[in-house]
Chain A
Amino acid sequence: MENILDRLIVGKKNKAKIVLLPYTLLFPAVAVFLIFMFYPLFYTIYLSFLDWNMISPLKQFVGWKNYITLLYDPLMPVIIKNTLAYIVILLVLNCIAPYILAFILSFVIQRGRNFYKGAFFLPSVISLVVGSILYLWILNPVGGPIAIIADFVGITIPIWTKTQGMVIVVLSIITTWKIFGYNFIVVFGGVTGVPQEIIEAARMDNVPLHRIFWDIVLPLSSATGVYIFIMTIVQGLQYVFTPIKVVTQGGPDNASSNVIYNVYQEGFLLYHTGYASAFSLAAMLIFIGLLVIEFKYVEKGIYYEN
């Protein structure tokens, strides 16, 4: 494949010109990345060694102090616990559930595939602010539609925005509403990549559906599975920022804050610029770990699936 390219570079006379061309084509993209991605990345590292409030002209170099503070921050256990809770809930709703639905849609039922695919994707084009406000209304404990229906059966909806634990569940559901469709489509692509004949062979041997799922579909679509697992965590934690910001501002008492929201809170509400930078870098370590897994497994899995 790579040697298409050889021949574009044939021709000594034009060599210099042609070798420059790819860089010219890349220049606009690379320029914005340098300014708004790579430069900020390094600047954040620099900031993480400062004691600064973003406004004052005084920037004090404090070495590793921000990182040490991080270890003893009383909020830290809460944030980590919340983040893990978000991850678990998001994975169940946006990784496991789409997998099962995609399996049903691709192997169990034949009719209406395109309709379901299109309809499930639909909410993912809508703003999460819209999602937040819709769910605020729908789950409004006083007079919201769910509260009214629950009232019929004698259940009272708690004031979830003020209830520890519950608040994370609901914010995760709002986020799920947004990202489920995308995940579903991608998983569907992976699951339908499993050759139909293999499934048919298993069915002829009377293998029950759940075994087909576990023994055949899951291993054969593992690359997609790992991809979506990681994207759920990486994107999910960022997406959930919007409902947190819009609905609870991390409350009650930081019960709905996560690593992403906490950086915003430290940086833009408390003006602990250096500390926020250190915190965001620490959080990124988790993401880098996931990135390594992604490249290891998914790159391998490509061959597996083809």
Chain B
Amino acid sequence: MKISGNIKYHIVLIAALFISLMPIIFAISTSFKELSEAYSNVLGIIPIKPTLDNYLRAFNGLPLGRIIYNTFIVAAVVTIFKIGTSLLAAYAFVYFKFPGKNILYFLLISTIFIPFTITMIPNYLLVAQMGLRNNIIGVILPQLSDATGIFLIRQAMRLIPTSLIEAAQLEQASHLQILSGIVLPLIRPAVISTSIMFFINAWNEYVWPVLILKDTSNYTLPLALQLFISSEGGTDFSMAMAVAVITMIIPLGLYLVFQRYIINTFTSSGIKG
């Protein structure tokens, strides 16, 4: 009785999972099919004649090496900068009392709720004025104003028992020593998962780069992928899938490696404001 009841629920969960994971499997499978097979053997998961042809054609047709490099640089710089500033800011918010602290925290965190359309036009004008349109530095800059890192890292820091910090103070440890020797090792999981999410989000960022990047050689991967889309149909889907796989392989790999940290960090991110 009990077992059959549980199986019922497992079926619900598996069905939901199937719906959400199937597209990924399709994409990987199709990317190894020849174009003709992509249309004739649509439902087959294992390609009849596996081929790397789609990948080769993608690399020949597009400056993909350059595009991957651009995407990586954007993601890496955004991640390093945001993690660094978030760490310092969160440390100030958790371990100091200073005039304006609460209002400043409130202002920064509120920006999480501001839709990007509000700042889109002025930021475009600003980046254009700096002469950074069609330049990956222009892609990077506006992405740096993101408060989620401050929020998540502050949450993690607040879980460190106060007495640990006090014990270090009794030892005359400087703030730098406390941050690097005590705080950072203790919030390592949160820092890792936040970094990974920053990297993945910047890697996937589409809205902002599509506004300012013009030349294909300056593109990031999501923009390159967009070249394959037309709602009219008649697209080279198997090559599109190859580029899709290239676009998602890094985020997926990072996620699979750091899954445990990421899940734990986000499980507790919603509550405990």
Contacts and interface: CB of A to CB of B under 8 A. Distances in A.
A contacts B directly (C-beta below 8 A): yes
A145 interface: yes
Interface residues of B, number: 100
A63 interface: no
A171 B218 CA distance: 28
Nearest to A174: B23
B116 A188 contact: no
Contacts of B150: 29
Contacts of A208: none
Interface residues of A, number: 122
Interface in A1-59: 1-9, 19, 21-23, 25-26, 28-30, 32-33, 35-41, 43-44, 47, 54
Given A4-B165, A137-B30, A247-B229, A54 B125 contact: yes
Contact of A29 (B88, B114, B270): B88
B98 A264 contact: no
Interface stretch (A70-78, A84-92, A104-112, A211-219): A104-112
B214 to A, nearest CB: 13
Interface stretch (B51-59, B61-69, B181-189, B248-256): B248-256
A224 B270 contact: yes
Nearest to B231: A161
Mostly, the B contact residues are: helix
Contacts of B175: 21
Nearest to B178: A8
Contacts of B46: none
Nearest to A143: B39
Contact of A36 (B9, B93, B115, B144): B144
Interface of B: 5-6, 9-10, 12-13, 16-17, 20-24, 26-27, 30, 39, 42-43, 84-86, 88-89, 91-93, 95-98, 101, 104, 107-108, 110-111, 113-126, 141-142, 144-145, 147, 150, 158, 162, 165-166, 169, 175, 200, 203-204, 206-207, 210-211, 221-223, 225-226, 228-229, 231, 233, 237, 240-241, 244, 247-248, 251-252, 254-255, 259, 262-263, 266-273
